Structure formats: C-alpha cells, structure tokens
Amino acid sequence: KVVVGTKVDHNHTNWVTAYNMLTGIRFVVSRINAKMHRDLTEEDFSACHKFSFDMTGNELTPSAKYDFKFKDYSPWVFRDLRAKFGLDPADYLMSLTSKYILSELGSPGKSGSFFYFSRDYKYIIKTIHHGEHKFLRKILRDYYQHIQQNPNTLISQFYGLHRVKTSWGRKIHFVVMNNLFPPHRDIHTTYDLKGSTIGRDYNEENISNNPNAVLKDLNWLRRDMHLNLGPTKRRLFVEQVQRDVELLKRLGVMDYSLLLGIHDLNRGNKDDIRNSALKVFQPGGPVSDEIQGHMLQRTPSKMEKARQARELRDIIYKEVPVSLDQDSANRLPDEFSEHKKTLFYADDGGFRTTHENNEPDDMIYYLGIIDCLTHYGFIKKVEHFWRGLSHPKDQVSAIPPDRYGERFFNFITGLVKSKEEVQREKENAGNG
C-alpha cells in the first residue's frame, strides 16, 4: 500500500496539535476541578491563564511529549457551565483524555474549521477563527445568563474555550462542545437548515455514495419533510427556538443553523453508518485493529470504566500541582452519570416524534442550533452588498441578524406539523 508523503505529514501535524489540545485540556480542567467551589465574580468572565509545556516540565506544568503553549479562558465560568449542563467532572476528563484517541471529521464546513470527536463520541472540539474566539469572550456573560434562564436551550453547549500555540508559533483557538448526535444510535439522515434557499442544496445524485451527507433546506422542501411533533412538544420546541433566536438577534449573530439528525426506530442501528466515516488518529501509520476496536466499542463495559477511572486518578495525582480535594478524588471511580436529561435530549439523548394525541411516534430527532459565533460584521456586510445586487433580497444568506433570526424562526417553526395534520392537509388539497 503506497502512502503519499504529504498526507502522512499532514496527519502527523494534526496529531501533534490534537495531542497538545488534549494535554492542555486535561491539565487545566483537572486544575480547576480540584479547587473548592466558590461563586463567580465579574473577573471570571474575562480571565485568561497561560501555561507553557515542554519535555522537562516545571513547578507549574507537568512534562509533556511536545513543546507548546496553552491558554485557558474563563475556567471558572466553564466549570460552572459544565455543571449546569449536567456533566460529571470525572466523566468529562475521561472522555477527553483516555489514550488520546480522537477522530477527525476533517473540515466539513466552508469556514476551514476542524472538528474532532472525543474518543467516546460525546464531545466535539471545533477549531474557531480568531474573530469567533473574540466574539465568544465578548458575549460569554450573556451566554451564561441565557443558560441560567434557559436550561433547555437548543444553542450549542460550550464546555471550554482554549488556545494552543504550536512550537512554530501558530495559534489555534478551539471550543469544546456537545456532540448533538448520540454515540449509540445511527443517524439515518442529517439536515442543516437555515431558512434560506440560495446555495442550500445538496446534490442528491451522489447520496448513495455518502450516507453521511448533510442535506440542506432545498432537499428538505423537495422531500416535503416536516418536524412531526404533536401539540405539547410543538409548543415546547417553538417556545425554546423563539427564546434562543431572540438572544442570537440581540447579540448580532447570524449564519447559524438547525442541525437535525434523524434516527428511524424502524431501521434501528443495523446500518452502522458512522464508523466508516471516521478517521482515527494515531501518530504515524495506519489505524491498528486495537484502536478500531476502541472506536467500535461504543459503550465501555463496567470494567473498562473502572480501569479508565484508575488511569485518570493516576494522571491527576501525578500532574495536578495544586492539592487535590480528597473527597472528589475518592468519588471519581463511581461517577459516570450521563448528561443531565434536559427536555430536548431526554428521549435516548434526543427528542422523539409524537402524534397529534401526543403519543410517541417512530423517529428520534437529535437537534440543536449550531455555528452561533458569526457576528454580523464587516465581511458579511460586504457580502450582503455584492450578493444583494444579483439576488432577491430576502433570499440572500447574509442578511442582518434581525431579519436572519426572523426568517430562521419562521422557517423552522413552520416545519412543525404532526403526521395527522400533514395527512389532513393533503386530503383537503385533494378535495379542493
């Protein structure tokens, strides 16, 4: 098997960066977790801590495999957010540290961001642009307040904001957030919906070659799809989308979308689609069977969990310089509770469809509002000007945040119809 040289280099570069990201996260998260609880202060929202890692280590940081610098932003705020989102501290660390096995989704969007899954598929690391990073820092207080007031928000759950600086001086900002899609269920169809039609079409001719295709607004409309929710769930969903969109409008955000993965309970898990798309990282060389085995083993056994917990405790004891609260150390191995079951993630990690009588139906929706860090700034205004010349006004994707939000809200909530409602409409159309 011939391996192209550049490809190996490229992979290797990403491997080191991913490795450093995880080493940094592991260090700063254990560090903050080890501290006694205290209330947040105003300064916590602008806090930034810098660490330097190298092969020898020093009194502040443990030795690492590579030389790099790491910045941790607002650690107290994110610790609090993780607790609000119901994450178990030990579980979070475990997911992002064990054996450094990550898989890369490459760069699925146009933005050039990279996406990495944690080994257990629960978390996503997304590299973000400097502008997005600055913006998240600026809005962190509003975001925090929104989470406080809206525990069921559909907006991406941010668990950490960090920066890694490579030994050759490249700065990479990244966030850790929730993977909307579950580790234990196949997603049969995926949509990314914005309520715009321009450029919102995925060429379905090639769809059989790519079960991981992310379909868009025009595909949805062409297939005459609906969000099949009965009255109760419809009301809850519409109300939350409204509150979330209000925030995004107020903050001047645009370009976000509703990401929707559909699991068809009738099809179940037999297709096992997703694993084929993931690329597993390993320093140099092809993926070994052992690592493949790890990837496919979606729910670790009790024994495996206990082993991981011991590993983690060793890591913490060895590498956390501050004194560890004995109580939390003793608690570690038993705490593997799942995420708090918030409204839209309560049906096996998702939101199950319902009939008009609110009885459960046969799909599970895994959904959320993603890509919420694009501020309507200079570039978008320029784009608006140029594209506005050749396209009808509201169809253009780069429209101001207020109109973007309204269009998004109207489109998404307009899709909600129970199966029975759709059926009646069809009959009426047939009769009339």
Which parts of this chain interact with ligand ATP (CB under 6 A)? 108-111, 113, 115, 124, 156, 177-181, 192, 214, 259, 370-371
Q: Give which of Ca ion, ligand ATP, none residue 180 binds (C-beta under 5 to 8 Å, depending on kind).
A: ligand ATP
Residue at token pair 């020093």: 58
Indicate which single residue of 40, 51, 66, 111 sits in contact with Ca ion (rule: CB under 5 A). Answer: 111
Q: Give which of ligand ATP, Ca ion, none residue 156 binds (C-beta under 5 to 8 Å, depending on kind).
A: ligand ATP
Residue at token pair 């913006």: 135
Q: CA-to-CA distance for 309 and 311, rounded, in angstroms?
A: 5
In whole angstroms, how close is the CB of 276 to ligand ATP at the nearest point?
Answer: 16
Contact 360, 352 (CB under 8 A): yes
3-state helix/strand/coil string of 294-338:
HHHCCCCCHHHHHHHHHHHHHHHHHHCCCCCCHHHHHHHHHCCCC
Q: Give which of ligand ATP, Ca ion, none residue 124 binds (C-beta under 5 to 8 Å, depending on kind).
A: ligand ATP
Q: Give which of Ca ion, ligand ATP, none residue 108 binds (C-beta under 5 to 8 Å, depending on kind).
A: ligand ATP
Closest among 72, 17, 74, 20 to 43, alpha carbons compared: 74
CA 278 to chain CA centroid, Å, is: 16
Q: Give which of ligand ATP, Ca ion, none residue 396 binds (C-beta under 5 to 8 Å, depending on kind).
A: none
DSSP state of 263: E
How many chain residues interact with Ca ion (CB under 5 A)? 2
* Contact window for Ca ion (CB under 5 A) among 56-64, 110-118, 147-155, 231-239: 110-118
Residues in contact with Ca ion, shown as a per-residue x/- string from 354 to 393 under the rule CB under 5 A = -----------------x----------------------
In whole angstroms, how close is the CB of 6 to ligand ATP at the nearest point?
Answer: 23
Backbone Cα Rg of the chain: 22
Residue nearest to Ca ion (CB): 371
Closest among 103, 130, 131 to 116, alpha carbons compared: 103
In whole angstroms, how close is the CB of 61 to ligand ATP at the nearest point?
Answer: 30
Q: CA-to-CA distance for 371 and 378, rounded, in angstroms?
A: 18
- Regarding 129 and contact with Ca ion (CB under 5 A), the answer is no
Helical residues (DSSP H) of 150-230, grouped into ranges? 217-222
Q: Choose between 26 and 216: whose C-beta lies nearer to ligand ATP.
A: 216
Q: CA-to-CA distance for 16 and 102, rounded, in angstroms?
A: 12
In whole angstroms, how close is the CB of 78 to ligand ATP at the nearest point?
Answer: 16
361 CB burial (10 A radius; 0-12, 13-18, 19+): middle
Q: Choose between 26 and 375: whose C-beta lies nearer to Ca ion.
A: 375
CA 167 to chain CA centroid, Å, is: 27
Residue at token pair 């993965």: 261
Q: Give which of ligand ATP, Ca ion, none residue 395 binds (C-beta under 5 to 8 Å, depending on kind).
A: none
DSSP state of 45: G
Q: Give which of Ca ion, ligand ATP, none residue 110 binds (C-beta under 5 to 8 Å, depending on kind).
A: ligand ATP
Q: Choose between 32 and 180: whose C-beta lies nearer to ligand ATP.
A: 180
Q: Choose between 31 and 200: whose C-beta lies nearer to ligand ATP.
A: 200
Contact 101, 147 (CB under 8 A): no
Q: Give which of ligand ATP, Ca ion, none residue 259 binds (C-beta under 5 to 8 Å, depending on kind).
A: ligand ATP
Give me the helix-helix angle, 302-319 and 89-97, nearest 10°: 90
Contact 401, 135 (CB under 8 A): no
Beginning with the edge strand found earlier in the chain, give each strand of the sheet holding 189-193 in spatial order: 214-215, 189-193, 257-264, 360-370, 351-354
In whole angstroms, how close is the CB of 406 to ligand ATP at the nearest point?
Answer: 20
In whole angstroms, how close is the CB of 374 to ligand ATP at the nearest point?
Answer: 7
Q: Choose between 178 and 354: whose C-beta lies nearer to ligand ATP.
A: 178
Q: Choose between 19 and 366: whose C-beta lies nearer to Ca ion.
A: 366
In whole angstroms, how close is the CB of 194 to Ca ion at the nearest point?
Answer: 8
In whole angstroms, how close is the CB of 296 to ligand ATP at the nearest point?
Answer: 19
Residue nearest to ligand ATP (CB): 109
In whole angstroms, how close is the CB of 332 to ligand ATP at the nearest point?
Answer: 27
Question: Which residues make Cβ contacts (< 8 Å) with residue 362, sequence separation at least 6?
Answer: 264, 265, 266, 353
Judged by the rule CB under 5 A, the positions of this chain that interact with Ca ion are: 111, 371
